[in-house]
Amino acid sequence: MNTEATPIVEIQGLYKRFGDNEVLKGIDLEIAEGEVVCLIGPSGSGKSTLLRCVNLLETPTEGTIAAAGHDMTGPDADLDLARRDIGMVFQHFNLFSHMTILDNLVVPQVRVCKIPKAKAVAEARRLLAEVGIEGKEQAKPSQLSGGQQQRVAIARALAVKPRLMLFDEPTSALDPEIVGEVLSVMKGLAAEGMTMLVVTHEMSFAREVADRVLFLDGGVIVESGPPAEVLSNPKTERARSFLHRVLHPVD
Amino acid sequence: MDAETETLDRRMTPARRQRLARAIQYTVLAAIVVVLAVVADWGRIADSFFQIDIAAAMFPAVWTPFWNTIVYTLLAFVFGMVVGVPIALMRVSAFGPYRWFATGYVEIFRGLPALLVLFLVGFGVPQAFPGIQYPGGVYGQVAIGLGLTSSAYIAESVRAGIQAVPKGQVEAARSLGMSHTRTMITVVLPQALRIVIPPLTNELVMLTKDSSLVFVLGVTTSTMELSKFARNELTANANATPLLVGGLLYLLLTIPLGLLARRLEKRGEPR
């Protein structure tokens, strides 16, 4: 890893309003290259909105965002160029349903990065093997299980060579027994040094893989620190009761 | 046994009631068929519609108008697609003037009768702009005259298709670095067009029938379409058999279209 001092994500004074509903109320956040950050918090706390602001899928109402070396909120921002450097994985996979699995990885490389077809196909095959999807190249997304689709979606995001990956509840739409296969791919990615910002409800993943856990509530970052600290010894009552509800849902 | 259970026994079960209703409906249907068969003057019907020699005399001359019907329909449909798809894209554009223009276009050409538009193209425009030449003569006039109306319908269908593509597909494309235009071409339109195969087939069938309006442009033997031909034969023979032949030839076009569309739809279905 290089010793670059500038953070790969830098968010300052971020506010986001949907009409009268203020979802983010002043977020300041820096993420260093190679860091894995998990965003946890109750539903409606603004986790997903914060994540979607990083690649400007949501336009901030106020504040500045820099990510992967691009000034995202600047007046001359080239978002199409910037988004190549910021991969995104969605809760519902969002694979291109009319394309084969292989084309899902090939078309973005050819169309976005202007990589020659043959090279793109080879890279697609390599990435599919890496996420453990083999022999499904000519299948359509709907023929795959949710876990397989999500692993393809991760491979697709990696196909355009991002420097930073955003995960928006990547396992929330999966059956419990399938969650593991997606998490293990993400764990592998983290081990390779990828910078990751992950919205998740998987506390064990956060505990094991994250360098830092952020607890969001009511549109502000309430707690921030190493997983052992935030998940085991939350300082605030809000974080304590949230974690209790997540870890002991039956009580 | 008390009074209550007795009434319950007398009431019919749903299954029995359904069987009885079915029996009644079949009986009524059979009665209608029998009455029609007895009342109708079959000799007269056969004389009016089923004169084999008149039908046979229509061949092979009927193939020219039959072929023209296909050509007129396809020309109008191609014009409708070439104009309609961009109009649909303008309808969903973020740029106001595009949206306003497209909305106006659709409202005008959807609202005007195809016959009136055909007259407008065939006679109105040449009068207002003397010396104007349509490419392909009457074929160009038909492509534009029928295509204008068709493009408005196609634009509305395609717009509905575009809006039916899940938002997540667009978000995925944009977050991979695809531009708005690239996303439309590579991700949204291919899915939208698959969604609108049924209404587009509908449009093609409507156009096949609307091609019967072409006679107002004044057609010759070589540019005549099926309806006009059948009508001429009707007058010449003072007999309705040509209408039956013409009708069957229309069905020969439209029914396979429906089958083809159903296959296309199935192919696009997520399995």
**In a mutagenesis test of the B interface, which of A92, A111, A156, A168 is the best target, namely the one with the most B β-carbons within 10 Å?**
A111
| DSSP three-state, residue A64 | strand
Task: Assess A87–B contact: CB distance below 8 Å, yes or no.
Answer: yes
**Per-residue model confidence as pLDDT tens digits over A194-205:** 999 999 999 999
- The answer for B145, left when phi > 0, alpha when psi is -120 to 50, beta otherwise, is alpha
Q: Taking residues A134-160, what's their average pLDDT?
A: 95
Contact list in A for residue B175 (CB cut-off 8 A) is: 55, 57, 83, 86-88, 157
Residues of A in contact with B268 (CB under 8 A): 98
User: Is the CB of B35 inside 8 Å of chain A's CB atoms?
Assistant: no
Interface test with chain A among B176, B185, B186, B191, by most A beta carbons within 10 Å: B176
Instruction: Look at residue B210 and tell me whether its pLDDT is greater than 60.
Output: yes
Instruction: Render pLDDT for A6-21 as a digit per residue (tens, 0 to 9).
Output: 899 999 999 999 999 9
- Cα–Cα dist B251/B271, whole Å: 32
Residues listed for chain B: 271
Nearest to B176 among A92, A112, A141 (CB): A112
Residue range B179-194, pLDDT digits in tens? 999 999 999 999 999 9
- Compute the distance between CA of residue A149 and CA of residue A242 in angstroms, rounded to an integer: 30
Residues from chain B that touch A83, judged by Cβ atoms under 8 A, are 174-177
Q: Which of A81, A94, A96 sits opposite B177 (nearest CB)?
A: A81
- Compute the average pLDDT of residues A24-32: 95
In angstroms, the separation between the Cα of residue B266 and the nearest Cα of chain A is: 13
Instruction: List, for residues B253-268, the tens digit of each pLDDT value.
Output: 999 998 988 888 777 6
Query: What residues in B contact A86, CB-CB < 8 Å?
Result: 175
The CA-based angle A73-A78-A82, given to 5 degrees, is 85
Q: What is the mean pLDDT of chain A?
A: 93
- Angstrom CA distances, B127 to A84, B108, B121, B122, B131, stand at 56, 21, 10, 9, 9
- Residues of A in Cβ contact (< 8 Å) with B171: 57, 88, 90, 94
* Per-residue confidence (pLDDT) for residue B91, from 0 to 100: 95
Arithmetic mean of pLDDT, A142-163: 96
Under the banding of pLDDT at 50, 70 and 90, the label for residue B7 is low
pLDDT at A198: 97
Residues 148-177 of B with CB under 8 A from A: 166, 168-169, 171-177
- Check whether A235 has a pLDDT greater than 60: yes
Q: How confident is the model at residue B271 (pLDDT cuts 50, 70, 90)?
A: very low
Residue A121 has pLDDT above 80, yes or no: yes
A98 closest CB neighbour out of B179, B194, B271: B194
Q: How far from A195 is each of A88, A101, A192, A206, B240, CA to CA, in Å?
A: 12, 25, 9, 14, 79
Q: What is the pLDDT of residues B63-116, one digit of tens each?
A: 999 999 999 999 999 999 999 999 999 999 989 999 999 999 999 999 999 999
pLDDT at A118 over 80: yes
Instruction: Kindly report whether the global pTM for this prediction surpasses the value 0.90.
Output: no
Q: What is the pLDDT of residues B15-66, one digit of tens each?
A: 999 999 999 999 999 999 999 999 988 888 888 888 889 988 888 989 999 9
> Is the pLDDT confidence value at B11 over 90?
no
Asked if residues A90 and B169 have their Cβ atoms less than 8 Å apart, the reply is no
pLDDT at A175: 92
Cα(B34)–Cα(B207) distance, integer angstroms: 38
Give the mutation candidate from A80, A115, A143, A165 for the B interface (greatest B CB count, under 10 A): A80
Q: What is the mean pLDDT of residues A144-161?
A: 96
The residues in B 187-206 lying below 8 A from A, measured between CB atoms, are 187, 190-191, 194
Global ipTM: 0.93
How does residue A4 score in pLDDT terms, banded at 50, 70 and 90?
low
Instruction: Match 């360098």 to its residue by tokens.
Output: A211
Which residue of A83, A92, A94 is in closest CB contact with B177?
A: A83
* Closest Cβ opposite residue B168 in set A90, A140, A160: A90
Supply the pLDDT for residue A1.
Answer: 45
Q: Inspect the interface and report whether the beta carbons of A160 and B177 lie closer than 8 Å.
A: yes
Task: Supply the mean pLDDT for chain B.
Answer: 90
Query: Taking CB atoms and an 8 Å cutoff, what residues of chain B touch A55?
Result: 175
Q: What percent of chain B has pLDDT over 90?
A: 65
Residues of B in contact with A96 (CB under 8 A): 169, 172-173, 187
Mutate to test the interface with B, among A88, A98, A168 (most CBs of B within 10 A): A98
Hey, is the C-beta of A138 within 8 angstroms of any chain B C-beta? no
Closest-approach residue (CA) in chain A for B179 = A80
State how far the Cα of A33 lies from the Cα of A203, in Å rounded to an integer: 23
User: Quick one: how far is CA A231 from the chain centroid?
Assistant: 20
Cβ B169–A96 below 8 Å, yes or no? yes
pLDDT at residue B8, as a whole number: 56
Does B186 touch chain A if contact means CB atoms closer than 8 Å?
yes
- What are the start-end ranges of the H helices in chain A? 47-54, 79-84, 101-113, 117-130, 146-159, 176-191, 203-209, 227, 237-247
State whether residue A57 sits within 8 Å of chain B by CB. Answer: yes
